[in-house]
């Protein structure tokens, strides 16, 4: 009986694993240290004077609707294709450039893009890398606050 | 905690030299913008054709965990209340239609889904984060809009009340 159960489990393992892997990650952004976070109000203030390189690493339809002025689209970094876009954009920059990544696709602890983007850029050697902390989403935490935004492409 | 409703009226999107034009947000009482697109099943999905039904418009994406978590609830409600004039319509904000279709298939979605884009999203006041759910009454007016991770019971109670 026990052997039969184990045999069934072994047979079903690929199916079960594929089902689990197919669902989106339930938690993200546990890699980025608190010291690397920048709050929306702080970044909005910085935009008036110093302008860091800003990379939007979320989904393109979000960027196409609205993005931070000067932000470059480099995502979505939850996919290999998006990570390649990010790395290609980042490769144009000196490694000591002030870089800020942001997404805002969903609540911070649900974001599938920020950890991957942060990890990739750290691995490339960026020493002044920060992540914009967007608690809920780009609309509520940036646009609705009246911070600078460019709409449309 | 994450439940949010759109504020009525226009919200200025920006300040300074890069200030953008105003984003016209939707609010309860307004009529959702019309759209006509092809559903994942190849059939046309025309918002106007659903007049007289209670509609739940769901802006979602396959990579969005809060979006995917709530979909089984929508399926249940569609099955339970479809005969009473309740209709869910999914609008995917995925970059890839193939990924959205695969997710819909995997989840066994029992209501129409179309692909969204930036133009449609802007018409809907900006879908600047996911998920976004919008409940529309039988008279074609928006009843409620929820942004972010919303407890299913909150939406369910609103749907139940709107069905009468």
**A9 lies in some domain:** no
Q: Which of A44, A74, A139 to mutate to test the interface with B (most CBs of B within 10 A)?
A: A139
pLDDT of residue A14: 40
What does the pLDDT average to over B38-54? 97
Distance from CA of B153 to the nearest CA of A (A): 19
* Out of B66, B103, B106, closest to residue A106 by CB: B66
Residue B85 region, left (φ>0) first, then alpha (ψ -120 to 50), else beta? left
Q: What is the dihedral of CA B66, B74, B33, B157, to 10 degrees?
A: -90
* A&B contacts, CB < 8 Å: 132
What does the pLDDT average to over B47-58? 97
Q: For residue A50, what pLDDT band results from cuts at 50, 70 and 90?
A: confident
* HSE-CB of B26 using CA atoms within 13 angstroms: 27
DSSP letters, A104-151, are -SS-GGG-SSHHHHHHHHHHTT-SEEEEE--SS-HIIIIITTT---EE
* List of chain A residues whose C-beta atoms are within 8 Å of the C-beta of residue B147: 136-137, 139-140
Instruction: Note the pLDDT tens digit of each residue in B107-161.
Output: 999 999 999 999 999 999 999 999 999 999 999 999 999 999 999 999 999 999 9
Residues B24, B29, B31, CA angle at the centre, nearest 5°?
65
**A1 lies in some domain:** no
- B87 secondary structure, DSSP code: E
Q: For residue B22, what pLDDT band results from cuts at 50, 70 and 90?
A: low
ipTM: 0.85
pLDDT of residue B23: 76
C-alpha A137/C-alpha B99 separation (Å) is: 22
What does the pLDDT average to over A53-80? 97
CATH of the domain at A143: 3.40.250.10
Contact B126 A139 (CB under 8 A): yes
HEC readout, B23-65: EECCCCCCCCCCCEEECCCCCEEEHHHHCCCEEEEEEECCCCH
**A116 lies in some domain:** yes
Q: Which long-range contacts (CB under 8 A, 24 or more apart) does B10-16 make?
A: B11/A143, B11/A144, B11/A146, B12/A146, B13/A66, B13/A143, B13/A146, B13/A149, B13/A151, B14/A69, B14/A146, B14/A147, B14/A148, B14/A149, B14/A150, B15/A146, B15/A147, B15/A148, B16/A47, B16/A48, B16/A148
pLDDT of residue A12: 45
Q: Which of B129, B130, B133, B134 to mutate to test the interface with A (most CBs of A within 10 A)?
A: B129
**A3 lies in some domain:** no
Q: For residue B21, what pLDDT band results from cuts at 50, 70 and 90?
A: low
Distance from CA of A139 to the nearest CA of B (A): 5
Q: For residue A24, what pLDDT band results from cuts at 50, 70 and 90?
A: low
**A107 lies in some domain:** yes
* List of chain B residues whose C-beta atoms are within 8 Å of the C-beta of residue A30: none
**A58 lies in some domain:** yes
Specify the range with the lowest mean pLDDT, choosing from A12-16, A57-61, A95-99, B16-20: B16-20
Q: Using alpha carbons only, how large is chain B's radius of gyration in Å?
A: 15
Contact B20 A149 (CB under 8 A): yes
Using the predicted structure, report yes or no on whether residue A3 has a pLDDT greater than 80.
no
If interface means Cβ-Cβ distance under 8 Å, which residues of chain A face chain B? Answer: 19, 22-26, 47-48, 59-62, 64-66, 69, 76, 78, 104-107, 110, 112, 136-140, 143-144, 146-153
Using the predicted structure, report yes or no on whether residue B99 has a pLDDT greater than 80.
yes
Which domains, ranges and CATH numbers included, belong to chain B?
A: 10-163 (3.40.30.10)
Q: For residues A29 and A108, is the Cβ–Cβ distance under 8 A?
A: yes
pLDDT of residue A1: 46
**A22 lies in some domain:** no
Contact B16 A48 (CB under 8 A): yes
Q: For residues A68 and A142, is the Cβ–Cβ distance under 8 A?
A: yes
Number of domains observed in the structure of chain A? 1
pTM: 0.85
Instruction: Note the pLDDT tens digit of each residue in A87-137.
Output: 999 999 999 999 999 999 999 999 999 999 999 999 999 999 999 999 999
Enclosing domain of residue A34: 27-151
Grouping H, G, I as helix, E, B as strand and the rest as coil, residue B15 is coil
Largest CA distance in chain B: 53
The structure tokens 């184990």 sit at: A6
């Amino acid at each position: 009986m026990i052997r039969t159960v184990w045999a069934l489990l072994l047979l079903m393992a690929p199916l079960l694993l594929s089902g689990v892997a197919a669902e989106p990650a339930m938690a993200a952004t546990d890699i980025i240290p608190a010291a690397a976070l920048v709050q929306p109000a702080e970044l909005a203030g910085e935009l008036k004077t110093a302008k860091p390189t800003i990379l939007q690493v979320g989904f393109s339809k979000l960027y196409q609707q609205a993005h931070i002025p000067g932000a470059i689209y480099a995502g979505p970094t939850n996919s290999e294709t998006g990570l390649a876009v990010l790395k290609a954009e980042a490769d144009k920059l000196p490694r000591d450039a002030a870089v800020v990544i942001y997404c805002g696709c969903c609540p911070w602890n649900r974001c599938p893009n920020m950890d991957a983007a942060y990890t990739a850029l750290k691995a490339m050697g960026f020493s002044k890398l920060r992540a914009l902390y967007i608690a809920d989403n780009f609309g509520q935490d940036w646009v609705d606050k009246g911070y600078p935004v460019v709409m449309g492409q | 905690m994450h439940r949010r409703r759109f504020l009525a009226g226009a919200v200025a999107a920006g300040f300074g030299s890069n200030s953008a034009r105003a984003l016209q947000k939707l609010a309860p009482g307004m009529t959702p913008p019309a759209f006509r697109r092809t559903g994942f099943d190849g059939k046309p999905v025309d918002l106007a054709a659903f007049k007289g039904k209670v509609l739940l418009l769901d802006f979602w994406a396959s990579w969005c965990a809060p979006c995917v978590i709530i979909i089984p609830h929508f399926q249940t409600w569609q099955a339970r209340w479809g005969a009473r004039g309740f209709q869910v319509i999914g609008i995917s904000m995925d970059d890839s239609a193939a990924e959205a279709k695969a997710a819909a298939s995997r989840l066994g979605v029992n209501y129409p889904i179309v692909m969204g884009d930036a133009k449609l999203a802007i018409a809907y006041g900006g879908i600047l984060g996911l998920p976004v759910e919008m409940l529309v009454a039988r008279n074609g007016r928006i009843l409620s809009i929820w942004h972010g991770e919303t407890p299913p019971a909150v939406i369910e109670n609103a749907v139940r009340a709107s069905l009468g």
